[in-house]
Amino acid sequence: MSQQKFKAGQGGPGAGPNRHGFRKPKNIGKTLLRMFKYFKKNVGLLTIALLMVVFSSLAGVAGNYLLKPIINNLDTGIGSIVKDDLTDVALQAAKSRIMESLVGSLAVMAAIYALGAIFSYFSSRIMVSIAQRTTNTIRSELFNKLQKLPIGYFDSTPNGSIMSSFTNDMDNVGMALEQSLSQTITSLFTVVATFIMMLVLSPLLTVIVVLMLFIMLKIVKTIGGNSAKYFREQQKSLGDVDGYIEEMVEGQKVIKVFNHEQAACKEFSKRNEDLKHAATNAQTFAGLIMPIMGNLSYFHYAITAVAGAIMIVNPGNWAIFAAMDLGTLASFLQFTRSFSQPITQISNQINVLLSALAGAERIFEIIDVEPEENNGTVRLSAKGGGLAWKIPEQEDLVPLKGDVRFNNVTFSYVKDQVVLRNVSLYAKPGQKIAFVGSTGAGKTTITNLINRFYEVQEGTITYDGINVQDIDKNDLRRTMGIVLQDVHLFKGTIRENIRYGKLDATDNEIERAAKIANAHSFISRLPDGYDTMLTADGTNLSQGQRQLISIARAAVSDPPVLILDEATSSIDTRTERMIEKGMDSLMSGRTTFVIAHRLSTVRNADAIMVLEKGEIIERGTHEDLLELKGRYYSLYTGKIELS
């Protein structure tokens, strides 16, 4: 089917080079702001988590600073013991005081670190809770939006692309919220607090740290840029592989029928190789950051230690900058390690955050697609045990009969590619109208326009004299029963699948519908009858049985209008004869539109429309068209065949 047009920037098939191209976020600030809007319901928890993150960072800084008094007190105590000539008793007492002071200081340090670990643990737990709530909300919003999107969106957007938004993109967002966000915030607070403490301890050594930091950031920027590029390629290839796998799994029967296994494997190998190449490059550059940053931090540590040692050995030469002692140097060196580590962590989280933001942006693109328009104001209303149309500002109700008329309808899925041209027809209540024509002649398009899957560009379609564009879509479709050529059954019992046509249908109504479709007989012979569980798409039933259940599903809704889109194409001739009587009973008193390749199924139609290239070239009853000896006659007599 041709693609439906979507507005630019609305996330349709034309949005960007590929809707699932895993490109870099176009607007990081806008996407971040939109993400934070989902935190509104969790502001309290988020505040607590952020406070705990701050306390955890400060605890680490405080613990590192305690090294200064601990080492200096220990140095002073040992120095006094060495310098003074103490008696054995005094020496023992001095040692005891030193040990008591050391143990007490270490206990305080341990308590501070433990407190920081507790804060870190609970902040992580809270962030996991917030992440799960947020992704749950976004996932629900995304799924709910899919239910509101027009059919054209699904016609033009690959299923694998949509599924990947629910899996890969959502996983990336969840991981970023659970881990990367809190780690990044922790690292930022740690860097700021550590930098302040380093300035307090030694401004000169801090200058050395900043210079090394500048070099490290330049390297991170260079490597990170390449890494981000390959990560985008990796995600694009991953989406491509996922979509291909889904397509191949769905088409296994076709693959085996045409012995296409080797070709499918070859194509998959090519896509898999592209993914391997992109992933290898991405992980290679990502893996370079840690060892390079680690070695630079060691080099940085060594330079700082040497500079600090020189300042201790020659205190007079450096007095103008700051006094340096052993405890200050030890504490500063610990801060140096604490300073480079969070920077490394931030650099490692950049790709995760970018990937998550890109995923969130793609999710938001789907959420932002314009929903299916439903501006109809005419609604269904009860009238004397039946249904009628309630027109605003009109007191009298219009009886629901099922009178459908096309008036000079022209339609195209894509501009300048006309599918229907100036089509006019009518179906009076209770009439059976059949459509015959080659593939692509416009038969299914007519039925898609009746239930407003698409909107006409020219002309009008009326239902009981009311323009269908004025009727609420939900109420319009509630009056129609549709049986498609491609049957889709849901995982669940046969009873649940039939009830899908009318969610409040009783068991008696379900069995009655099954009898009308002549499905009751085979269902009763199943071990669990109507409670038989169906696998995905009902693959544990024959094609004909699945079609019968689909017909029963339409019958249970008791609609005034029926649309049968080659409903018996997948049923053998014997089964077709079996359900013919039931179908006649189902269609009795209902307006019915039938699309069929088997001309034998439309002989009793009140009118047969022969379409070619979007136009009705012949119309009339079976007998009328045979007498006309035109295209229908040639088709019926076998002189030509439907393509």
b/e code 323-344 from CB counts within 10 Å (16+ = b): ebbbbbbbbbbbbbebbbbbbb
* Structural domain ending residue among the three candidates 367, 384, 415: 367
Same domain? 171 vs 37: yes
Instruction: Identify whether residues 336 and 478 lie together within a single domain.
Output: no
pLDDT for 642: 58
Is 203 within the bounds of a domain? yes
Domain that holds residue 348: 28-367
pLDDT grade, residue 79 (50/70/90)?
Answer: low
- Rounded to the nearest angstrom, the gap between the alpha carbon of residue 373 and the centroid of all alpha carbons in its chain is 22
- What proportion of the chain, given as a percentage, has pLDDT over 90? 17
Q: Which H or E run includes 434?
A: strand 432-437
**Cα(427)–Cα(433) distance, rounded to whole angstroms?**
7
Q: Check whether residue 485 and residue 363 sit in a common domain.
A: no
CATH number at residue 512: 3.40.50.300
In-domain check, residue 56: yes
Q: Where a domain ends, among 367, 394, 416? A: 367
* pLDDT tens, residue by residue, 517-538: 888 989 999 989 999 998 877 7
Give mean pLDDT, residues 405-417: 90
Q: Domain for residue 597, yes or no?
A: yes
The verdict on residue 612 lying in a domain is yes
- Among 54-58, 221-225, 389-393, 566-570, top mean pLDDT goes to 389-393
Q: CA-CA distance, 286 to 118, in Å (whole number)? A: 31
Residue percentage of the chain with pLDDT more than 70: 86
- Give the pLDDT of residue 427: 93
Would you say residue 390 lies in a domain?
Answer: no
Give the pLDDT confidence of 199-208 residue by residue, as tens digits. Answer: 888 888 888 8
Pair 200, 96 in one domain: yes
For residue 266, the tally of other CB atoms under 10 A from its CB is 10
Does residue 242 share a domain with residue 355? yes
Structure confidence at residue 193 (pLDDT): 85
- 506 and 596 in a single domain? The answer is yes
Query: What is the pLDDT, as a whole number, of residue 5?
Result: 37
Residues 258 and 127 in one domain: yes
CATH code for the domain of 238:
1.20.1560.10
User: CA-to-CA distance for 391 and 480, rounded, in angstroms?
Assistant: 19
Contact call for residues 156 and 240 (beta carbons, < 8 A): no
* Structural domains of the chain, count: 2
**Which of the residue ranges 193-197, 285-289, 381-385 has the most confident prediction, judged by mean pLDDT?**
193-197
Mean pLDDT score, 278-302: 77
pLDDT mean across residues, the chain:
81
Q: Read off the pLDDT of residues 465-497 as tens digits, 9 standing for 90 and up.
A: 999 999 999 899 889 888 887 788 888 899 999
Question: Which residues lie closer than 8 Å to 430 by C-beta, 6 or more apart?
Answer: 402, 588, 589, 590, 591
- Residue for token digits 């509101």? 148
Model confidence band, residue 316 (pLDDT cutoffs 50, 70, 90):
low
When pLDDT is averaged across residues 555-559 and rounded to a whole number, the result is: 87
- For residues 511 and 79, the model is more confident at 511
Whether residue 464 lies inside any domain: the answer is: no
Residue 45 sits in the same domain as residue 169: yes
Query: Are 434 and 363 found together in one domain?
Result: no
Domain match, 109 and 237 both:
yes
Interatomic CA distance for residues 407 and 427, integer angstroms: 12
Q: 345, 367, 389 — which closes off a domain?
A: 367
Classify residue 79: in a domain, yes or no: yes
Provide CB contacts within 8 A for 589, sequence distance 6+. 430
CB atoms within 10 A of CB 467: 14
How far apart are the C-alpha atoms of 338 and 523, rounded to whole Å? 70
Say yes or no: 435 and 304 in one domain.
no
Residues with Cβ within 8 Å of 118's Cβ and at least 6 positions away in sequence, in order, are none
Structure confidence at residue 469 (pLDDT): 92
Whether 363 and 490 share a structural domain:
no
d(CA 531, CA 53): 54
Average pLDDT over residues 426-432: 91
pLDDT at 568 (0 to 100) = 65
pLDDT of 148-196, one tens digit each? Answer: 888 888 888 877 778 888 888 888 888 888 878 778 888 888 888 888 8
Q: CA dihedral defined by 263, 266, 271, 272, rounded to 10 degrees?
A: 140
**Residue 533: inside a domain, yes or no?**
yes
